[in-house]
Amino acid sequence: MKAEDKLSYGQAMEQLESILERLNNEELDIDELSAEVKRATGLISLCRGKLTAARQQVDEIFKEQ
């Protein structure tokens, strides 16, 4: 299990915002850039998965009503 798999949606979003801020402020050097982009891609995937799961749970709740 990856460390990012243990993150909550909110924690993943905070990390994404931090990466984006560092990109916008040009705080990343070229050596860090590819690693941070790869990390951001993983975090985005994690958030999408959590959103999809939440949507499915809500759909199931409404079906039961």
The parts of the chain modelled with pLDDT lower than 50 are 1
User: DSSP of the chain, one letter per residue?
Assistant: --GGGG--HHHHHHHHHHHHHHHHTT---HHHHHHHHHHHHHHHHHHHHHHHHHHHHHHHHHHH-
pLDDT at 6: 87
The pTM for the full model equals: 0.81
pLDDT at 65: 84
Domain positions in the chain are 8-64
| Longest Cα–Cα distance in the chain | 53
